[in-house]
Structure 1
Amino acid sequence: MQINRWTRTLVAGAILIGCASASQEPPAPQTETMTPAQEAEVRAIMAAIYLPRGAAPNSLAILPAPPEPGSAAQARDDAAALEAQALRGTPRFALAASDADLSLPHAIQAFTCALGVEVSEAATPHTYTLLRRTMADIGLSTYPTKTKYQRTRPFVVTSTPTCTPDDEAFLRHDGSYPSGHSAIGWGWALVLTEVAPERQNEILARGRAFGQSRVVCNVHWLSDTEEGRVMASATVARLQSAPEFRADLEAARAEITAARAAGSAPTNDCAAEAAQLAG
């Protein structure tokens, strides 16, 4: 699983484009020295974003502070976390572990059943490029607020395991609020709904479930995922005025329409995924 590499890339990118305030100390993982290859990867992803520096919605101006300890909002988060713990060891927990992997093309595959068409760099290059490029725009939108509040993740507070134990050391030092994973999942769902409006219900349901997987995985509070969706919505709304995004979106829409007409179908086991989501 490569979540650390991709999450760390977004963290490094947030620093590279100045998402964090100069008056704030970055979290520990951001201070790690990157290898030349890692730095090249970060710069390649940053070069692919649609929105220029300063054009993206500012999460610090949009989101409230995370729930205070002892508040009704935190009690709601606590209850959701406790409920999610009952899913450990179930098929839904296994899906949450799969959803945690943000490596490409794996993360994109999470949406192929909902889309009803197989998406790959070779078969649907315009759609693949659209999702790869928006991933950075959407994921980075959460980092100013993450960096400011550095909210402790639920598995640290409750001393309970996650669905990705290999990632826990990193996640302890990466702010929980808001959820970048949830932002990416919901943002992709909004984008894919424009690509394939006839599948909007399935796509949006999968985008919501992708974020809920973070609660099931025990690495995010419910409010983290909800505010992640807010930032995704804000970012996708802003992307509508980016000419390159609009051009790529139109190309992806034509590509998916043609692929569907040609009989393209997901290679994932969609019946198994539906059972996992229902569990």
Structure 2
Amino acid sequence: MIWPPEVEKEVAALAPHDRPILLHGPPGSGKTTLAREIHRRSGRTGAFRSLDCGTVGRELFAATLFGTPKGGFTNAEERAGLVAEARDGTLFLDEIGELADDQQAALNVFLEDGVWRQVGVGGAEGRGDVRVVLATWRPLEVLRPDLRDRLDAFRIDLPPATVERVGEAVFDWSRGMADRLRQPLVRASADAREQLERAVEGGLSMRGARNWLERATMRAWEDGSSVVEPRHLWGLPVRARDPLDEPALRRLLHETDGNVAAAARRAGVSRSMLNRRLARAKIR
């Protein structure tokens, strides 16, 4: 994955250290991928473990993190817990915005000193050297103030998918898929990239764009093609109307007296994206 320069700069600065990191961005913006990249750059020799907090019942959260002793409660089996499994490595807690107040409080205590105790009678206490990376797409106001204060200074904001990000990432995705599956590299044609970019303009996430490219690549392998073409992307969601079509672009420029920066702000897009659209429409 190719990250915007501001994200890359933050990762380079924070990855080597042991402070918890909060990744904040919309669904599909690459938070899980970035968490793995932080682990890779951290130099830690332990495992990468992850938990989607939205999938764990309220009563099981602490036990999943900290483990249980055998016989600690009725029918309890010995379980190490994710914190122990990630010793000397990284623990990624996704969707922390789904945690209840008491779960957030327990998490905050653990982040304070790294001490944890197995859940149940006779539970062992431990202190783990674990790097914690957390993520949410929700407004940060859903977090307890004390937890938010702990994490806010070490927050990395991930932007939503943009045409520029997808255009830069397409080759990286294709090469990664070929290496992972030990298949020949299949590049995306300019027309296929354009189709993905239009889908992103219509709201498709980075995860969605990558998944559609992978599906198209599989179709290309299947029919023996050396290039992903638009025909391999059949089924890709296409927006009904382009809100930055030529009439809209001309209207924006008229309303802002030709000021591209002001027009971009009014349209809610980056200046570089607006310039691309103006060039495509042969305006100015």
The TM-score normalised by the length of structure 1 is 0.23
Choose 1 or 2 for highest CA Rg. 2
Q: Which structure's residues are more often strand, by fraction?
A: 2
The TM-score normalised by the length of structure 2 is 0.23
